[in-house]
A and B are shown apart, each in its own frame.
Chain A
Amino acid sequence: MTRAATQPAGRPIPRRDGAPRLTRVVPLHWMLLLPALAVIGILLLYPLLRVLLLSFQDYGLDNVISGEPDFNGIDNYVQLLTDPYLWRIALPNTAVFAVVAVGGTVAFGTLVAVLLRSLGRVARTIVLSCVMVAWAMPAVSGTYVWIWIFDVDNGLARQLLGAVGLIGPEGFNWFTERLSFYAIVTLNVIHHGFPFVAVTVLAGLLTIPREYYEAALLDGATAWQRFWHVTVPTIRPVFAVVTILSTIWDFKVFAQVYLMPGGSGTNPEVLNFGTWSYIRSFARQDYGLGSAIAVLLTLILLAITVIYLRSLFKDEEFE
């Protein structure tokens, strides 16, 4: 700024006809980008930078009130990365869950898409409407429904499994065990996430020319071979998109864990990155460490996305 101000060339120089030469100072394409940049800057970049800055500070309630930052270098990151909790609980709960949930969502979504393609118009509309209901359900309501289904004393799951003799009269508390807790979260997330995959993959499927399948049929390909050798390679970019997006969503899943019994911190065994960061920041007023967790999560997601996109484009170059 100061440099620009001291350079005469940087200022609007009056033209002979008297109009200022704005174009010299701010090129037109930047002017056109400005509104979008301003929105992104305010809504995305500023919070991002703020979290990054906070992660290098020892920031508690007193700092919130005084407004004075208290930089402590990389202490938060050292504390975070040397905490066995990260490696034993939070990372596995986040990463292993995400792998299972993404796999499940994409597989189930694709199956539904294939089903939808083979249906007639009326049947397709009916199934698609049902799928949309699952999609339209807010995560909070959906989570409570799953909690009710698995209610320890009176839930549907208890009654069904009790009726066939799989659970004794004393019942089983799904929410205290890490594995059963995340099994319910996985069901919830797949249920909520598959409609997006189904609709997107269906859109991709409808673009595949029928001739490909006819040619494959003539060659004697089975249904599985047609799917694996025709469908999948043709709409690979569609799979890439749904996989990356699902990965990002499932890594940062929050409400589906936080609202479950024990997920708001009473059972530390079941926290993932999202809930851990939130509880650390807001319940414990340790905003610095909470931000460091959030930054770590962002870095992991960036790395995954970059690796994934690279492998995708590399594959395409070979073809």
Chain B
Amino acid sequence: MARKHALSVVAPGAALTLALSGCGLGQEDSFDVWIMEGTNPDATGYFEDIADQFEQETGVEVSIEFREWGDAHDQFVTAMAGDTAPDVAEVGTTWTPEFAAAGGLVDITDQVGDTDRFVDALAEAGQLDGRTYGMPWYAGVRAVVYRTDVFAELGIEEPRDWGELRDAATTIAEERDDMAAFPVAGGATQQMLPFVWGNGGEIATEEDGTWSAGLDSPESREGIEFYTDLALEDGTSTTGATTWDEADLQDNFIDGDVAMMISGSWTPSAILDENPDLEGDISAFPIPGPDGGMSPAFLGGSHLSVMSGADEDLAMTFIELLTEEENLGRWAEESTYFPGVQEQLDTYTESEDPLVRPFAEQMSEGGATVPVSENWGKVEGDETLTTMLQAVLDERATVDEATEEAATAVEETLNEDS
């Protein structure tokens, strides 16, 4: 809260300075970069190095500001409106199309060049109408994190398809009264989407600029039904989980109340920090497909973008410096996220670490992205998917009713002129 207040005082002040100093003058004086806080436990040292490298290369001093993920969207909007946006910013992948459509980001298609070298879903998420606005930087993905001690005690193997997943969950639910086997968190839609995508469903697809929703397709419905039935029929969840969000899910896992959950590649280290007793008792496996293989999971991460009004050459130099092999590798290592460059990601899929390799495989082979549209942020803002999931879990609506309502809403919102 305190930070927010500080910002609201600084922002008008900065706008005033800019207005007084006249156009152009203020911008050359400082080169500003916004980096999201919380990805890397301690990014300060890393960015001091980057700033040194950048100054050596260009002679320009760079000022790096860290922003909380939670407030960042509002801060971007405020800064873009007040002409106080930085030159380069780390932008969440689902925001890139939205900010680009609003005119806040610079088209960097020519500078980025061929995007084949990047992880597909990440490169795709940075584009709007075929133009690139975000350079893939790093990403994370979700897979199933589970308690190896519980699996060993009950003689359960890592599931390879949905049938085995359900069997594993029901076995735990029957044998262990003290924990939730596989909670179906009603406020966490990223945990649900693999069951839509894995079954061949889609949230929405675009053709000739028009979106049509896919949540009400037989494939999507079957996937959602399988997932919600785990809670409603098989008893692998808890009553409270209907209103849990992802943080609640993780907290309960940390407390030892959850045996299996879909969780991000960035979470195992945080879980072990909070509860060191779990050390050696947790592992992960990619989210299985209905009949083997993998169900895709949302690949979320960050782009680096040049903000409107920036010195474009200088900004691109900075972005290239961050995404250059050595710096990118170090960032991935320190932050425990995966690099957005396919070749570098490949080294992780060969890792022996049981908390790294399954995630790397999931990211490499089973990454998916939400509809790349400037209106996606509004769908998220409306909580359309969460509403749908909670209505089913709370038995206020059947899967057919809930998906139909959600599909209508998603289609309407995505096709709005922004």
Contacts and interface: CB of A to CB of B under 8 A. Distances in A.
Interface of A: 60-62, 64-67, 151-153, 170-173, 175-176, 261-262, 264-268, 279, 282-286
B128 to A, nearest CB: 13
Contacts of B242: 152, 173, 176
Contacts of A286: 378
A65 B98 CA distance: 12
A61 B77 contact: yes
Given A173-B242, A176-B242, A265-B382, A62 B390 contact: no
Given A64-B80, A265-B383, A267-B390, A173 B103 contact: no
B270 interface: no
Given A66-B103, A267-B387, A61 B98 contact: yes
Given A152-B243, A173-B242, A286-B378, 17 more contacts: A61-B102, A62-B418, A64-B77, A65-B77, A65-B81, A65-B102, A152-B240, A170-B239, A171-B238, A173-B239, A176-B243, A261-B187, A261-B243, A262-B390, A265-B386, A266-B186, A282-B74
Contacts of A282: 74, 381
Interface residues of B, number: 31
- Which of B80, B103, B239, B383 gathers most chain A CB within 10 Å? B239
B104 interface: yes
Interface in B109-136: none
B321 interface: no
Binding site secondary structure of chain B? helix
B163 interface: no
Listed from nearest, the 3 A-B pairs whose CB atoms lie closest are: A152-B240, A283-B381, A261-B243
Q: Which secondary structure characterizes the binding site on chain A?
A: loop
Contacts of A266: 186-187, 243, 245, 383, 386-387, 390
Contact of B382 (A62, A65, A66, A284): A284
Interface in B54-92: 74, 77, 80-81
B240 A173 contact: yes
A65 B80 contact: yes
Contacts of B240: 151-153, 171, 173
B239 A153 contact: yes
Nearest to A265: B383
The CB with the most chain B CB atoms within 10 A, among A171, A175, A267, A268, is that of: A267
14 contacts: A61-B418, A62-B418, A65-B77, A65-B104, A153-B257, A173-B239, A173-B394, A261-B187, A261-B243, A261-B245, A265-B381, A266-B186, A284-B381, A285-B77
A284 B243 CA distance: 21
A152 B98 CA distance: 37
B11 interface: no
Contacts of A170: 239
A316 B239 CA distance: 55
Given A61-B102, A61-B418, A266-B186, A279 B390 contact: no
Contacts of B103: 62, 65-66
B381 A279 contact: yes
A67 B381 CA distance: 22
Contacts of B101: 62
B80 A175 contact: no
B329 interface: no
Contact of A152 (B74, B102, B238, B245): B238
B159 interface: no
A152 B77 CA distance: 37
Contact of B418 (A60, A171, A279): A60
A54 to B, nearest CB: 13
Nearest to A286: B378
Interface string B135-147: 0000000000000
B200 interface: no
A283 B382 CA distance: 7
Contacts of B81: 64-65, 67
A171 B238 CA distance: 8
B377 interface: yes
A64 B243 CA distance: 33
B256 to A, nearest CB: 13
Interface in B323-377: 377
Nearest to B243: A261
Interface string B231-255: 0000000111011110000000000
Contacts of A262: 187, 243, 390
Nearest to A172: B239
Nearest to B81: A64
